[in-house]
Amino acid sequence: RKEVEQDPGPFNVPEGATVAFNCTYSNSASQSFFWYRQDCRKEPKLLMSVYSSGNEDGRFTAQLNRASQYISLLIRDSKLSDSATYLCVVTRTGTASKLTFGTGTRLQVTL
């Protein structure tokens, strides 16, 4: 089983739609959680950290359920510029700075 699993998509949604991505992780001792965004042939960029209490940044909302080892990202009012691959990332046990990446979920927002 992969350490971090995501639905690869692609998710094709019209502009203005709300879309949700899910992610599960296998190591219950994982400590920190993030969503990164990666554009085609580019480096990943931090979108937001994910906390148990849930957190929101504009149109983006992230949730963490430690009991279920489940992370989600909700994007409201999708824009064309949101088209990218969204990577679910966790830190490894005992090595807080080592990131483990999921394979990513591809989002394509269309007119």
Partner 1 sequence: GAVVSQHPSWVICKSGTSVKIECRSLDFQATTMFWYRQFPKQSLMLMATSNEGSKATYEQGVEKDKFLINHASLTLSTLTVTSAHPEDSSFYICSLGLAGDEQFFGPGTRLTVL
Alpha carbon distance 82, 39 (integer Å): 9
Closest C-alpha among 15, 9, 6 to residue 76 = 15
Q: Does 55 bind partner 1 (CB under 8 A)?
A: no
Interacting stretch for partner 1, rule CB under 8 A, among 20-28, 40-48, 56-64, 70-78? 40-48
Q: Does 91 bind partner 1 (CB under 8 A)?
A: yes
Q: Does 50 bind partner 1 (CB under 8 A)?
A: no
Binding mask 3-32 for partner 1 (x = CB under 8 A): -x---x----------------------xx
Contact indicator for 1, 7 with CB cutoff of 8 Å: no
Q: Does 97 bind partner 1 (CB under 8 A)?
A: yes
Contact indicator for 22, 29 with CB cutoff of 8 Å: no
**List 104, 105, 107, 109, residue binding partner 1 (CB under 8 A):** 104
Dihedral of CA atoms 63, 101, 8, 13 in degrees, nearest 10, equals 50
Alpha carbon distance 22, 63 (integer Å): 10
**List 7, 13, 55, 101, residue binding partner 1 (CB under 8 A):** 101
- State the residues that interact with partner 1 by CB under 8 A: 4, 8, 31-32, 34, 41-46, 49, 87, 91, 96-104
